[in-house]
Amino acid sequence: MLSQQGRRWVDLSRVVYAQLGSALTRGVSTSSCLARAEPQPAEPYDLATPGFVPAAELPRSPGGWLRELGIVRSDWTREEITEVFETPLLDLIFHAAAAHRMHHDPQMVQRCTLLSIKTGGCPENCKYCAQSSSWSKEVGLKAERLMNNDDVYEAAVRAKESGSTRFCMGAAWRGPSQVGGRQWERVLDMVRRVRSLGMEVCTTLGMLTPEQARQLREAGLSAYNHNLDTSPEYYGQITTSRKYEDRLTTLEAVREAGISVCAGGIIGLGEGPSDRVGLIHQLATLPAHPESVPINALVAVAGTPLGKDGLEPPTGFDMARCIATARVVMPKSMVRLSAGRLSLTPSDQALCFMAGANSIFDGDKLLTTANNDRNEDLEMMDQLGLSSRPAFLPYVAGNTSTGEEHSPAAALAAAEAELAASTHQLAAVSSDSACCGSQGQHRCGCH
Ligand code: SF4
């Protein structure tokens, strides 16, 4: 735990770093950088100037992305993203860290929990997945029924007590249309009940119709996860039971319903570097960047087609490169270091946080595969000076509301309450205990 003095230095270094990063990446002198903490347009914008050509129509020069570091753009070309991706790793991480500090608190990492509410028996044939019925015999995983609502609620309570602020529920379905209305109603009830705990709620249930997305929003869903997995051209190697366009259609329904979009991919499916670029390009050129971009490392499960191939698992450097590229091209999104952390050392993960990762999954299980030990995660975070992100702290890429209780004012109030609680914890353990501002509600000595 950092002392108050330590926190002051961290805050100061963040300001200086953001300003220095802004200056270095735009070629301005350091003497003028103090006025440039916010991202600035690369060119003066003057429509009245004769011959003015809008920036979007100008041919982009190599390295142009550096002059626009931190600016949100949806007009990325694949060549530009290739250039970002191929930047020498330490330089790439340096630039990504600068972009990260322009928009995010680099000390704050969200801890999320992922629960499989309906395991196995999925009619889709994603080659990396242990839950597909296509190879259930080889994997040895039996299809289970939808979990009991009380059990899901209790799992969410335990997750909250352990410090998770986002609870994600996954069902091995092609989509809710595959199941009866009663099961669907139960899922909506799960969303309502978890939301009532004051947690952000995410689901990953397969393909959605616009009506199903609307119902989820009304139930209080914060975010919907639907990964693109890989590049459009490699997708056919990963699954044949649906098309890339189907994924994009669901993402559109989610966005239209006003639910926060969570879409990313998996590294280590046997794809090449150009597929990693293609995935990030696809995400970065959506009409709006996903608010969350999970970057997963394949967890190869014996019995699945990709478990048999003996593929090389992605290295920490591979993960850091993908995260840094995602951070540079989608600077405001939450880049989530997701599945596959067990194969990464704490030093690998530190590199990923430096490159711009904002969150991890907490708990010993991710759907059907093992996850990192919570105590080891907390120790790592402590060593790196990271703190847990409170629920409903507004996301810089947008924090889509669902209902009155999700209004921006309510979200801010909830975030302030969470922060006051964590301030209290800091004050209580600090030798120079400052007041927690709770006016006697806590035991920090401010009665
Ligand atoms: S990844 Fe999802 S859709 Fe694909 S087989 Fe697994 S559970 Fe089904």
129 CA: nearest ligand 1 atom: 6
Residue 123 Cα to ligand 1 midpoint, Å, equals 8
Q: CA-CA distance, 32 to 42, in Å (whole number)? A: 15
Same domain, residue pair 303 and 281: yes
Higher confidence at residue 203 or residue 36?
203
Is residue 262 part of the annotated active site? The answer reads yes
Question: For residue 227, what pLDDT is reported?
Answer: 97
Mean pLDDT of all residues in 356-384: 87
Q: CA-CA distance, 337 to 320, in Å (whole number)? A: 9
Among 128, 129, 296, say which to mutate for ligand 1: greatest number of ligand atoms within 8 Å of CB: 129
Q: CA-CA distance, 262 to 247, in Å (whole number)? A: 12
Any domain includes 120: yes
Same domain, residue pair 375 and 412: no
* pLDDT reading at 347 higher than 80: yes
Any domain includes 396: no
* pLDDT reading at 1 higher than 70: no
Same domain, residue pair 343 and 280: yes
Any domain includes 400: no
Assign 277 a pLDDT band (cuts: 50, 70, 90). Answer: very high
Any domain includes 398: no
Residue 50 Cα to ligand 1 midpoint, Å, equals 55
Q: Which of 81-90, 172-181, 373-382, 421-430 has the lowest mean pLDDT?
A: 421-430
Is residue 129 part of the annotated active site? The answer reads yes
Cβ 238 under 6 angstroms from ligand 1:
no
Assign 401 a pLDDT band (cuts: 50, 70, 90). Answer: very low
Is residue 168 part of the annotated active site? The answer reads yes
> What proportion of the chain, given as a percentage, has pLDDT over 90?
66
Residue 124 Cα to ligand 1 midpoint, Å, equals 6
* pLDDT reading at 315 higher than 90: yes
Cβ 206 under 6 angstroms from ligand 1:
yes
Residue 370 Cα to ligand 1 midpoint, Å, equals 17
Same domain, residue pair 79 and 199: no
* pLDDT reading at 34 higher than 70: no
Same domain, residue pair 53 and 92: yes
Q: CA-CA distance, 251 to 108, in Å (whole number)? A: 27
Same domain, residue pair 213 and 304: yes
Any domain includes 395: no
Domain boundary among 103, 125, 147: 103
pLDDT digits (tens, 9 = 90+) for 111-153: 999 999 999 999 999 999 999 999 999 999 999 999 999 999 9
Report the candidate in 135, 110, 138, 114 with the shortest Cα–Cα distance to residue 125. 135
Question: For residue 420, what pLDDT is reported?
Answer: 52
Cβ 229 under 6 angstroms from ligand 1:
no
Question: For residue 391, what pLDDT is reported?
Answer: 86
Is residue 435 part of the annotated active site? The answer reads no
Same domain, residue pair 112 and 260: yes
pLDDT digits (tens, 9 = 90+) for 317-346: 999 999 999 999 999 999 999 988 888 999
* pLDDT reading at 49 higher than 80: no
Among 122, 133, 299, say which to mutate for ligand 1: greatest number of ligand atoms within 8 Å of CB: 122
Residue 132 Cα to ligand 1 midpoint, Å, equals 6
Does residue 41 contact residue 67 with C-beta atoms inside 8 Å?
no
Averaged pLDDT score across all residues of the chain: 82
Same domain, residue pair 221 and 76: no
Domain boundary among 103, 118, 135: 103
Question: Annotated catalytic residue: which of 112, 126, 352, 436?
Answer: 126
Question: For residue 63, what pLDDT is reported?
Answer: 79
Residue 186 Cα to ligand 1 midpoint, Å, equals 20
Any domain includes 401: no
What range defines the domain where residue 73 resides?
A: 4-103
Mean pLDDT of all residues in 342-370: 89
Is residue 352 part of the annotated active site? The answer reads no
Cβ 116 under 6 angstroms from ligand 1:
no
Any domain includes 403: no
Any domain includes 9: yes
CB neighbour list of residue 133: distance below 8 Å, 6 or more residues apart: 120, 121, 122, 123, 143
Cβ 204 under 6 angstroms from ligand 1:
no
Cβ 172 under 6 angstroms from ligand 1:
yes
* Structural domain count, the chain: 3
Same domain, residue pair 222 and 276: yes
Domain boundary among 42, 75, 103: 103
122 CA: nearest ligand 1 atom: 8
Q: What type of residue sits at position 357?
A: A
Same domain, residue pair 316 and 432: no
CB neighbour list of residue 22: distance below 8 Å, 6 or more residues apart: 28, 33, 36, 37, 38, 39, 40, 69, 70, 98, 102
Same domain, residue pair 383 and 429: no
Assign 370 a pLDDT band (cuts: 50, 70, 90). Answer: confident
Question: For residue 365, what pLDDT is reported?
Answer: 75
Cβ 318 under 6 angstroms from ligand 1:
no
Question: For residue 443, what pLDDT is reported?
Answer: 34
Same domain, residue pair 77 and 178: no
pLDDT digits (tens, 9 = 90+) for 244-262: 999 999 999 999 999 999 9
CATH number where 354 lies: 3.20.20.70
Bridge partners of 369, per DSSP, are 366
